[in-house]
Amino acid sequence: MTDQTDQGYAKPIRILHSILALCMLTQLAIGELMDVPEVEDHPAVAVQWIAPAMAHEAHQHTVPGMPVEETLGFEVHEILGLTIAGLLLIRIMLAMTSLPGANWRLLLPWLFAAGRKQLADEIKTQMAGWKQGKLAAPEDGETVARSVHGFIVLGGIGMAVTGTVLFFGWSTTAPQTDLIELVAETHELLVGALEALLAAHILAVILHQRQGHNIVDRIKPTA
């Protein structure tokens, strides 16, 4: 791989990774558990709370015209979401630098012909091992891993953008507009994709560690 990957990750990337990992995993858990306040379209008085993904449905009655009360879970989700958006903005700025392991070209190798070839070669040569739960050492090629990291960042950005639109556009006093419904559905779809990517990421880390590749040392904030 390139010199940048050989050096592992620069300190700011390592610190950011720990904070982002903690915030994102917490956020996904809160997102699954919280109740989302929403005014229902048809019954005039009844208010339904719909939660994304594993919908937690509860019925609440409220005074017509008064805003639906936001739950603590929903408020924490909003604040943490905006925090993650800020953290991702820092990651995007770091991606413009040549700090070791930071550049966007490393996260999106499939944008380049050479990267796509490397990706295809890696999949061809490593597929047999993956089927047996064996992962190649990073020095034998890590374009696939880099691509997964890139998709995690892209998925996170998608969540942050749709989440920010929802933060400003979500109504607690009236049914949602069609546009806001569409953004909310996209936000939920991205949750599924991000959870699958993170599950693959964490499983890969565990397998690498068990095979003695010590990749955690490359991203540990304290090293």
* Alpha-carbon gap, residue 219 to 143, rounded angstroms: 17
**Collapsed DSSP state (helix, strand, coil) of residue 40:** coil
**From candidates 35, 52, 163, 218, binder to ligand HEM by CB under 6 A:** 218
The distance of closest approach from Cβ of residue 201 to ligand HEM in the complex, given in angstroms and rounded to an integer, is 5
The distance of closest approach from Cβ of residue 189 to ligand HEM in the complex, given in angstroms and rounded to an integer, is 18
Q: What is the DSSP string of 51-65?
A: -SSS---EEEE--TT
Restricted to residues 123-152, the positions that interact with ligand HEM (CB under 6 A) are 138, 145, 149, 152
x/- map, 74-93, ligand HEM, by CB under 6 A? -----------------x--
Count interface residues toward ligand HEM (CB under 6 A).
Answer: 23
Q: Nearer Cβ to ligand HEM, position 50 or 76?
A: 76
Contact assessment for residue 142 and residue 66, using Cβ atoms and an 8 Å cutoff: no
Q: Nearer Cβ to ligand HEM, position 25 or 93?
A: 25
Residue type, 2: T
The two structure tokens encoding residue 9: 């990750």
**From candidates 82, 189, 205, 207, binder to ligand HEM by CB under 6 A:** 205
β-bridge partners, 59: 48
* Alpha-carbon gap, residue 209 to 9, rounded angstroms: 17
User: Per CB under 6 A, does 201 bind ligand HEM?
Assistant: yes
| Nearest residue to 41 via CA among 157, 144, 204, 176 | 176
Q: Nearer Cβ to ligand HEM, position 60 or 214?
A: 214
- CA distance between the termini of the chain: 21
x/- map, 99-118, ligand HEM, by CB under 6 A? --------x-----------
Give the interface segment with ligand HEM, choosing from 48-56, 64-72, 177-185, 212-220 (CB under 6 A). Answer: 212-220
User: Per CB under 6 A, does 30 bind ligand HEM?
Assistant: no
At which residue do the structure tokens 């943490």 appear? 80
**From candidates 156, 162, 166, 176, binder to ligand HEM by CB under 6 A:** 156
The two structure tokens encoding residue 195: 């959870």
